[in-house]
Amino acid sequence: MNGFFVFLSLCALGAASAPVLGQRYAHRAVPWIGGLAALSLLTDAALTLRGGGWQVALWSIEPFGPLTLALDRLSAWFALAAGLVFLPVSVYSARYLVRYAAHYSLPAFVAVYYAVLASIGLTLVAADVLSFLIAWELMSVLSYLIVNYEHLNDTNTRAGYVMLAAGEAGAVMIVLALLALAVHAGTGDFGALRSAQRPSSAFAWAVFLLSFFGFGVKAGLFPSMSWLPRAHPAAAANASALLSGVILNLGIYGIVRVNGDLLRVGAQWPGLIVLLVGSVSAILGILYATTENDLKRMLAHSSIENMGLIAVGIGAAFVFTAAQRPALAGIAYVAALYHLLNHSLYKSLLFLGAGAVDSAAGTRDLDRLGGLIRAMPWTSALFLAGALSIAALPPFNGFPSEWLTLHSLLRSVELSDLDTRVAFAVAGALVALTAGLALTAFVKAFGMCFLGLARSDGARNAREVAAGMRTGMALLAAGCLVLGVTPSYVVTALAPIASRLGGAGAADALTPSFFAPQALPVPFVAEFHALGAQIGRDVLPPPGLVLMHRGGAGNPVVFASAPAYLAIALLGLVLLVWLLSRLATRRRTRTSGRAWDGGLHRLLSRFTYTATGFSNPVRVIFEAVLAPRAPVQNEVIVARHFRTAINRKVEDTYALDRWLFAPLAAGAGRFAQALARMHHGRLSAYVAYAVVSIVLALVLASSW
């Protein structure tokens, strides 16, 4: 608890000191104050995960009861993710914010930044309905302020506004859900809600739908995800990292807290809805990411995809919980929460990298970048680490979490209900397709941005960014590597949370503690010897370096994964190949010359592939889903046959926006216009309105 208090105080200190430090020094203090705040949050979270946790009751408000703050293991996990992002982003911010010094107020940004950190912390520790809602609204408004920082740009203002509007629409649903729960239990305290009597099925469904779709807006799930690709690119890179890496998680936090903890889902259908919504979000997100050329928009779409994957894991967990399979539910929760932490890290890394590219090259358009690896080798290497992580390639952290997600989907064969199995099969297929497209999307992002020839002057003149920015990114990349190589330790940390939510020892099933073999049958342990589970037994702390799970009676196989060994093997192979090639070419001369380009006079960058060209096949294949508008082509024709210019414009927007939200917004606008006719300025009519409403109120009050 002390750690959290220190965290809040440091945030307050930072926000208060920002105007004092002024335009020249405000941003330079961010790594120190923000870093210390992050460390204190991390300390508190780590202590809680190890077996701590605290609760504090503040003053009481009728009829909601006392305002309570508590940090339990679930909140601590989210706080851990938040702290692991805050620290590198704060280190990065010092040099990054310099570019805004000319036009905008740096103290304002810094103050809002600390306030956002504090509000995120408060949302996670809120342990009753009222404090949660207060913290939630605070966090929404503050994130709007940080998105709208570059207010001189109209696009950014619109983006922020759309985000706020969507957030508030979601908030309405959240308020309804939480108030309903509070009314049912009689008080707002989460502990009381948890232990209240189970309500009727219809009530539970209403709470589930309201809370899922309400929090789903904040998490960027289908169908209300179109604010994300607008808002995240509009923010500064460090703010985008916060938005994608931490604030999206809060949506998932809300879903898990309400439907996994406070009012645990009882039937299978809610879980299947979550599963299907998650998989549709994933596939749509990655499709738009693959065909998007703006680097930050592409990362925003990819966040939608990852949130979808997390929702898939959560949905599977809900289904397994309702089907009384606690071990499987545990695995699914572990997969989802692990993916959540991983996503926070690698998405922040990618956004910080995009910010570095934007600062150095002056553009975010992949069609105008290229060849940056020569001038910016560090940024390229760190961005590559992020890209490998998000594409779920070992030895980085995307691999174990995606493996576990797919694994938990595959385990659905052990269920008996046919509808459920079909839904899982569909979700599994969509997730698999998503994984392939994610690889395409990030090959395109890395390749078009860093490799090849520079396609614009900005890219040609780029220089490597400052050490502070590189350090921030390096911290995140190191985190990605460490989390990828030690999955069994992460799983052990998640095990208590999973047990609490799903109800049984998932961790024991996933990482056999060979240091306590009496808990497991001897032949079982012996099987694992062949898979290397015993390696490092005397040196490493339990539970070992191999992730394994044994199937059930109807499915007697062992699923195992050892990213640590894989990383060592990869390193060894690379070294071996390097050695062999040095030996083999010892006595050869080396010449370097021009690349063969078919005898061209000069190889220009416009002869090389652009990002649009690279992703065109995906655009063409998925045309029915993407439903882009047909290109508008203008030709300049001189003298009947000679075409001297062909001009082509294509506009891509979310099909869902065009078909659903735009008509809805237009309808709401017309309705508002109609209502506005009430405001015609005639005093006599206004008095009449007042009289009519008073009469109505009296009539209603007397008849009730």
Partner 1 sequence: MKDGAPMPGPADRWPHLRLRQYRERLALQVTTTELPRLVAELDRDAVLAGLIAERDAAGLHLHYPFFPRTRGAWLVPEVEVPTRSEMPSVSNIVFGADWHEREIEDLFGVRFAGHPLLGDFVLHNEIWPEAVAPMRREFDGQRPYARTPNPHYEPAQVVEAPGAFTMTVGPVYGGITECGQFLLETVGEEVIHTRPRFFYKYRGIEKITEGRPAQDLVLFAERLNGQSACAHALACVHALETITATDVPPRARRLRVLWAELERLRSHAATVAAIGKSTGLSVPTNLAYSLLEELLRLSGTYGGHRYLFGLVQPGGLTRDLADRDAAALSARVAQCAGDLQRLGRALTFDSSFLDRLEEVGVIEPEEARSYGLLGPVARASGARHDLRVVVPYADYADLSPDVPTETEGDGYARLRVFLAEAQQAADLVQRAATALPAGPIAARWVANEGAALGWSEAPAGAACHFVRLDHDGQVRRYRVLPPAFANWHAFHLAAENFAFQDFPITLASMGLSVAESDR
Partner 2 sequence: MNIWPLRGLLTPVPATRYPATQETATGVTPGRPRAASAEAVLVCPTGALLSEAGHVNIDLARCVHCFRCTRQAAAPAAWESDYEWARPRGQRGALPAAFRRSIHVRVLDAGDCSACLAELLQLESPAYSVHRLGIYITPTPRDADVLLVVGPVTNAMRAPLEQAYAAMPTPKRVIAAGACAASGGLFGPSFASNGGAAGAVPIDLVVPGCPPPPLAILHGLLVVMGRAAPAEAPA
Q: Are 373 and 446 contacting, i.e. CB atoms less than 8 angstroms apart?
A: no
**Of 452, 451, 409, 413, nearest in space to 430 by CA:** 409
Which partner from the list partner 2, partner 1, none does 620 bind, CB cut-off 5 to 8 Å by kind? partner 1
CB of 292 to partner 1, least distance (A): 11
Between 556 and 599, name the residue whose CB sits nearer to partner 2: 599
Comparison of 239 and 357: residue with beta carbon closer to partner 1: 357
Amino acid at site 70 = A
Find which of partner 2, partner 1, none residue 593 binds, CB within 5 to 8 Å per kind.
partner 2
HSE-CB of 396 using CA atoms within 13 angstroms: 23
Q: How far apart are CA 650 and CA 182, in angstroms?
A: 50
Nearest CB to partner 1, comparing residues 172 and 636:
636
DSSP 206-238: HHHHHHHHHHHHHHT-TTS-TTHHHHHHHS-HH
Backbone angles phi, psi at 171, to 5 degrees: -60, -35
Nearer to partner 2, 594 or 677 (CB): 594
- Least distance from partner 1 to the Cβ atom of residue 653, Å: 15
Kindly give the pairing relationship between strand 547-550 and strand 558-561: antiparallel
Write the DSSP string, 646-678: EEEE-----HHIIIIIHHHHHHHHHHHHHHHTT
- Nearest Cα residue to 692 out of 681, 682, 702, 684: 684
Identify what 604 binds: partner 1, partner 2, none; CB under 5 to 8 Å per kind. partner 1
In the 8-state DSSP scheme, what is residue 246?
A: I
CA dist 669 → 157, 162, 223, 662 (Å): 19, 15, 21, 10
- Which CB atom, from 59 or from 596, has the smaller least distance to partner 2? 596
Selection from partner 1, partner 2, none that 99 binds (CB < 5 to 8 A by kind) is none
Least distance to partner 1 from the beta carbon of 595, Å? 13
Residue 585 interacts with which of partner 2, partner 1, none, CB < 5 to 8 Å by class: none
CA 506, CA 102: separation in Å to the nearest integer?
Answer: 54
Q: Which residues bind partner 2 (CB under 8 A)?
A: 593-594, 596, 598-599, 601
What distance lies between CA 297 and its chain's CA centroid? 14
Least separation in angstroms between residue 448's CB and partner 2 is 24
> Do the strands 632-638 and 642-649 form a parallel or antiparallel pair, or are they unpaired?
antiparallel
Picked from partner 1, partner 2, none, the partner binding residue 367 (CB below 5 to 8 A depending on kind) is partner 1
Decide which of partner 1, partner 2, none touches 594; Cβ closer than 5 to 8 Å per partner kind. partner 2
221 φ, ψ (degrees, to nearest 5): -95, 160
Give the residues lining the site for partner 1 (CB under 8 A).
Answer: 293, 367, 597-602, 604, 606-617, 619-620, 631, 638-650
Q: At closest approach, how far in Å is the CB of 587 from partner 2?
A: 14
What is the C-alpha to C-alpha distance for residues 95 and 31, in angstroms, rounded to an integer? Answer: 10
Name the residue nearer to partner 2 (CB basis): 554 or 598.
Answer: 598
Least Å distance, CB 664 to partner 2, is 54
Q: CB-wise, 589 or 684, nearer to partner 2?
A: 589
Residue 607 Cβ, how far from partner 2 at the closest point, in Å?
A: 15
Please state the closest distance from residue 365 (CB atom) to partner 1, in A. Answer: 8
In the structure encoding, which two tokens stand for residue 512, read together?
A: 């056999």
The item of partner 1, partner 2, none sharing an interface with residue 646, based on CB under 5 to 8 Å by kind, is partner 1
Question: Which lies closer to partner 1 via its Cβ, residue 414 or residue 652?
Answer: 652
Provide, rounded to whole angstroms, the least separation between the CB of residue 603 and partner 2: 11
Residue type, 623: E
Q: Smallest gap, in angstroms, from Cβ of residue 596 to partner 2? A: 4
Closest contact distance (angstroms) between CB of 453 and partner 2 is: 18
- Return the HEC string of 133-149: HHHHHHHHHHHHHHHCC
Q: Residue 140 or residue 293: which is nearer to partner 1 going by CB?
A: 293
DSSP assignment letter at 26 = T
Give me the residue label for tokens 């108030």. Answer: 179
Task: Report whether 431 contacts 392 (CB < 8 A).
Answer: no
- Compute the distance between CA of residue 7 and CA of residue 63 in angstroms, rounded to an integer: 30
Query: Which residue type, as a one-letter code, is found at position 300?
Result: A
Judged by beta carbon distances under 5 to 8 A according to partner kind, the member of partner 1, partner 2, none in contact with residue 293 is partner 1
Question: How far apart, in whole angstroms, are the C-alpha atoms of residue 32 and residue 26?
Answer: 11
594 vs 641, beta carbon nearer partner 2: 594
CB of 619 to partner 1, least distance (A): 7
CA count, 13 A, side-chain hemisphere, 97: 28
616 binds, among partner 1, partner 2, none (CB under 5 to 8 A by kind): partner 1
In the bound complex, what is the minimum distance in angstroms from residue 595's beta carbon to partner 2? 8
b/e burial code for range 339-369 (CB count within 10 A of at least 16 → b): bbbbbbbbbbbbbbbbbbbbbbbebbbbbbb
22 binds, among partner 1, partner 2, none (CB under 5 to 8 A by kind): none
Q: Which is nearer to partner 1, 620 or 692 (CB)?
A: 620
Angle between helices 154-185 and 201-219 (to 10 degrees): 160
Give whichever of 597 and 635 is closer to partner 2, judged by the CB atom.
597
Tell me which of partner 2, partner 1, none is bound by residue 226, counting a contact when its beta carbon lies within the kind-specific cut-off of 5 to 8 angstroms: none
Partner from partner 1, partner 2, none contacting 682, C-beta within 5 to 8 A by type = none
Measured from the CB atom, the residue of 556 and 598 that comes closer to partner 2 is 598
